[in-house]
């Protein structure tokens, strides 16, 4: 039997900006609440991700394309109540910031910039909804991670930094200055690709070289020239400085400069040299790049063109980059030899497979026979298994799909910071009760447009039902869904070890005779501390598995309301 994943919706390629992903604006808002589910137009709310200063963020399934999106719901009164700012003040205006963010995001289409797909603004409604690309991994480095001095290995920082550079080069080529570059605004997908987000401080110019006067952004990442009284500065060099500060932070797990208060921070940034922690060795090429990006004088600071040719970034020209403004139609910014084969930088420059190394962590081998259940959903997890040979089925309960705190799994803690400022660690469901009240009926169909909308929902629920039932048939039981299979070189049970509850999120059943190595939580932690890249590899594996379970959870929700959607259409009048 083929892996369930191969024949599932999960096997579809990740949505990337292109002709099929056109931004749209919608002025009609329909909300239906039924059987504990909420539909916002064609979007099924899967779960609450978090709350931010300007609203709430939800994970949603678009029933039209059956893909997951992040939806930011902003109360208009919260934006308007802060207007206008006091005369002469530099306080950010939330309404203007949001308008600017929408204006920029709807025009910027790049693989390393978070895509804004739709804005829903009903003139009669109280909320403004932004539907954006869902970035499973959240920020590449959260505030909580910085507090723990977590950092990235140089090779991984290079991979992320190349994505960031390509996005910033594209922005500058389109006369956009980001204005608030920091690790929290660099988001990671389950694929390991990173993208820039949060354009509330961004500016668009006629030439891109105009002078700015107002100072926005995050103090720790502001360029020195922005900190002087009555300053006037150019935006592009400040973005280069901020990106250098981001790179420094990723590498060392700390910001380049710190001080007890804002006044002293401004003095330190303007006058003190950059220092490199001696306990974190970095290459000479990288130190040269950081020094040139963090140069105090903006006229002496490295420019984007030279930056994209730097030996560290291009690995001594083995992996060159081409500025976006020089691209011909269909060309990629990546110029390495693997591009012709459709390979990314990460694929063309593979890192060691540290999961293979886990097999040597333990000599405790266990053998299971076909049909044996070796892990059960909901049980406490104290170990993981490395599959040496054989195949296992991954099963989840149809009725009781796993409910996971947004901060439970590796990478999820920062996910809420995400797509628009939700607070990390927010409890699922907090502040969302009023949106999820139960009902057994749907809103009345009042015209042909609303009838067609309901027809589309019915078709989506039927498609979801067919898929869910196929997973049930593959499982061979009435209670379970077979969502994937794992084989030699893969892990099972690691998701529980990275969660706060330590509970198994799925049942694991042997599809054949299986030979495994048993690895305890203590052994895993020791291995990850000794091999920093391994931690990030395991994180990417967990994010992909989380995506599988989340998608099934969404499709089960959609399947469960199929009868109510069908009944509402049967009772609808003809138009």
Judged by DSSP in three states, 271 sits in: helix
What count of other Cβ atoms lies within 10 Å of the Cβ of residue 180?
A: 23
Q: Residues 82, 86, 87, CA angle at the centre, nearest 5°?
A: 145
Q: Are 114 and 217 in contact (CB under 8 A)?
A: no
Judged by DSSP in three states, 522 sits in: helix
Judged by DSSP in three states, 541 sits in: helix
Closest CA to 395 of 491, 469, 480: 480
SS3 per-residue string spanning 345-413: HHHHCCCCCHHHHHCCCCCCEEEECCCCEEECCCCECCEEEEEEECCEEEEEECCCCCCCCCCCCCCCC
Q: Which of 180, 198, 239, 393 is catalytic?
A: 180
Dist CA 354 CA 332 (whole Å): 30
Q: How far is CA 71 from the centre of its chain?
A: 13
What count of other Cβ atoms lies within 10 Å of the Cβ of residue 159?
A: 19
Diameter over CA atoms, the chain: 75
Q: Are 219 and 268 in contact (CB under 8 A)?
A: no
Judged by DSSP in three states, 87 sits in: coil
Active site residue 122: no
Q: Are 3 and 486 in contact (CB under 8 A)?
A: no
Which residues are known to be catalytic?
180
């Amino acid at each position: 039997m083929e892996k369930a994943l191969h024949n599932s919706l999960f096997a579809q390629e990740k949505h990337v900006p292109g002709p099929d992903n056109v931004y749209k604006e919608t002025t009609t808002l329909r909300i239906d609440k039924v059987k504990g589910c909420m539909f916002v137009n064609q979007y099924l709310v899967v779960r609450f991700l978090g709350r931010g200063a300007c609203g709430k963020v939800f994970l949603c399934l678009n029933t039209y394309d059956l893909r997951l999106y992040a939806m930011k719901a902003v109360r208009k009164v919260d934006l308007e109540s802060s207007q206008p700012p006091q005369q002469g003040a530099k306080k950010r205006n939330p309404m203007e910031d949001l308008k600017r963010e929408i204006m920029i995001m709807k025009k910027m289409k790049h693989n390393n910039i978070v895509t804004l797909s739709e804005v829903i603004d009903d003139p009669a409604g109280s909320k403004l909804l932004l539907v954006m690309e869902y970035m499973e991994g959240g920020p590449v480095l959260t505030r909580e991670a910085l507090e723990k001095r977590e950092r990235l290995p140089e090779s991984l920082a290079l991979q992320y930094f190349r994505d960031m550079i390509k996005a910033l080069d594209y922005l500058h080529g389109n006369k956009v200055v980001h204005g608030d570059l920091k690790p929290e605004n660099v988001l990671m997908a389950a694929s390991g690709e990173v993208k820039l987000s949060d354009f509330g401080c961004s500016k668009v110019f006629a030439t891109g070289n105009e002078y700015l006067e107002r100072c926005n952004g995050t103090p720790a990442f502001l360029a020195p020239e922005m900190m002087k009284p009555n300053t006037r500065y150019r935006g592009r060099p400040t973005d280069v400085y901020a990106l250098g500060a981001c790179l420094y932070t990723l590498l060392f797990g700390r910001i380049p400069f710190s001080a007890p208060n804002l006044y002293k921070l401004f003095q330190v940034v303007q006058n003190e040299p950059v220092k490199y922690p001696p306990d974190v060795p970095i290459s000479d090429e990288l130190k040269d790049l950081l020094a040139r990006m963090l140069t105090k004088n903006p006229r002496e600071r490295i420019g984007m063109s030279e930056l994209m040719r730097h030996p560290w970034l291009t690995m001594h020209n083995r992996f060159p980059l081409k500025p976006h403004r020089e691209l011909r139609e269909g060309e990629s910014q990546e110029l390495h030899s693997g591009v012709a084969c459709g390979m990314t930088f990460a694929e063309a420059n593979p890192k060691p497979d540290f999961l293979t190394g886990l097999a040597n962590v333990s000599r405790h081998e266990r053998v299971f026979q076909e049909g044996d259940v070796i892990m059960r959903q909901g049980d406490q997890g104290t170990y993981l298994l490395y599959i040496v040979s054989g195949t296992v089925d991954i099963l989840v309960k149809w009725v009781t799909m796993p409910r996971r705190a947004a901060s439970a799994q590796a990478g999820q803690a920062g996910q809420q910071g995400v797509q628009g400022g939700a607070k990390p660690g927010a409890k699922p469901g907090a502040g969302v009760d009023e949106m999820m009240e139960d009902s057994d009926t749907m809103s009345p169909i009042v015209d042909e447009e609303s009838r067609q909308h309901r027809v589309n929902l019915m078709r989506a629920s039927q498609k979801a039902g067919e898929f869910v039932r196929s997973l049930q048939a593959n499982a061979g039981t009435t209670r379970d869904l077979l969502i994937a299979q794992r084989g030699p070189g893969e892990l099972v049970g690691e998701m529980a070890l990275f969660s706060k509850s330590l509970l198994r999120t799925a049942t694991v059943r042997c599809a054949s005779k299986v030979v495994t190595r048993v690895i305890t939580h203590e052994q895993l932690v020791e291995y990850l501390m000794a091999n920093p890249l391994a931690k990030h590899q395991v994180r990417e594996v967990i994010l992909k598995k989380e995506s599988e379970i989340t998608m099934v959870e969404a499709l089960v929700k959609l399947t469960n309301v199929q009868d109510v959607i069908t009944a509402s259409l049967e009772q609808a009048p003809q138009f």
